[in-house]
Amino acid sequence: MSRRLGTVLILSLGTLWVCAMGGLHQPSHANNEIKDAQDPVDVIWFPNPPYAVNRKGVPTGFEIDLWRMIAETRQIPYRIRKADSFEDLLEAIQTNQADLAISGVLINENRSKQFRFSFPTASSDLKIYTLDNQEPTAIKMLRILLSRQVLLIFLGLALIACIFALPVWFVERKRPDLADKRKRHQLVFILQKTLLLSTDHTRHTRTRLISIGSLFARVLLTAYFTSFILKVATSETNANSGNQMEDLNFEILKNSTFAAIPGYIQTSILKSSGTKTVDCDVAETCIGLLQSGKADAILDDMLTMRSALKTMPPEPKVTPASEKLMTLFMAFAISDQFGKDPRSREINDGIARSYYDGSHARLSRIWLKP
């Protein structure tokens, strides 16, 4: 009996010791959680102007500056590194190898199943871009001058000279003030007055009636010329508007080769429709492929193209070939693991606050406005 009591006593003391040690270790575990919450946020970025820009190795841009502002005001420590490609950036977020991704990442339903998004940081329009195939102004003017309509106008001027100026000269050539002039001088003088709709060079009733007739001929010729100019201007406007797509016509897209960045939503749209694509790493490279003729078009957001074109050669000129196809929304990409961190909510609060404290508008004027 005494042995049993001793065994029970020993087991009881052992249980109390284990519980005491567990209680001692519990505060230590809580301290570790607090320390983890203070670890630097692992930020990954990839160039995508104007949201993330590589300026001589230093990351900057609209979203980069917005993040820095939020991190400073919220006192969030972070370390930032550049991804080797946009696909690597997405993979780092999907596998929790990074906490936050900055590259103008488009909000998409499929992506929201792989990682989380912050509040929207910016919006833009999706458009198709191609080379501007318009003729140079000099060639266009030469083509107009050599057109049949312009030749008819010159023919009309010649007829006015023959039908109206010559009879006036024949009647008025013996006037005292013209009699001592050479015939060439007389003809040029009468022709000038006739074409300028002047009547002070006529002295006889017959020639004045002829001058009045030339006036009506000139009015008809001017009306024809005006209608021709309006027709040319209207046809140019209709041609430009007719060449711009109003929505994504996949049948037309299949006949073109698009420069596309792997991992982009735009690239997924093109490949899902069977459109041929050629890979490029950043927007500037895509534009280079388009200007060199290795690609026919680019499907990208307006802000990115406008920002990237500023750093590219002006010729060959790249212009939108479509109207706004859809509205795009950009945001920070947040890993699922970091989404459970209270600091992810602070980031959303910082984005929301930037809209009404003026900081978002200030950054927009710097990076997003033309």
Mean pLDDT of the 287-308 span: 94
* Domain covering 250-326 in this structure, CATH number: 3.40.190.10
On the question of pLDDT at 350 being above 70, the answer is: yes
* SS3 state of residue 126: strand
Mean pLDDT of the 181-195 span: 64
Q: Of 242, 239, 245, whose CA–CA distance to 323 is shortest?
A: 245
Q: Which residue has the tokens 């927009």?
A: 364
Structure tokens at 207: 């020639």
On the question of pLDDT at 22 being above 70, the answer is: no
Beta-bridge mates of residue 99 = none
pLDDT for res 57:
85
More confident residue, 33 or 303: 303
On the question of pLDDT at 168 being above 60, the answer is: yes
**Average pLDDT of the chain?**
79
CA separation for the pair 128, 251 (Å, rounded): 14
Q: Do domains 38-123+330-367 and 250-326 have the same CATH topology?
A: yes
Give Cα 78 distance to the centre of its chain: 32
Contact present, 74 and 54 (Cβ < 8 Å): no
Mean pLDDT of the 59-74 span: 96
| Per-residue pLDDT reduced to its tens digit, 209-262 | 666 666 667 677 777 777 777 776 676 655 555 455 555 565 666 778 999 999
DSSP-assigned states of every residue in 57-89: TEEESHHHHHHHHHHHHHT--EEEEE-SSHHHH
CA separation for the pair 141, 135 (Å, rounded): 10
| Per-residue pLDDT reduced to its tens digit, 132-143 | 876 566 666 677
The residues spanned by each domain of the chain are: 38-123+330-367, 137-242, 250-326
Highest-confidence segment of 9-13, 19-23, 129-133, 183-187:
129-133
Structure tokens at 35: 């320390």
CA separation for the pair 267, 298 (Å, rounded): 10
pLDDT for res 333:
96
* Domain covering 38-123+330-367 in this structure, CATH number: 3.40.190.10
On the question of pLDDT at 2 being above 50, the answer is: no
Beta-bridge mates of residue 258 = 277, 297
On the question of pLDDT at 287 being above 70, the answer is: yes
Which pLDDT band, with edges at 50, 70 and 90, does 34 fall under? very low
Structure tokens at 18: 């284990």
Cis-peptide into 320, omega within 30 deg = no
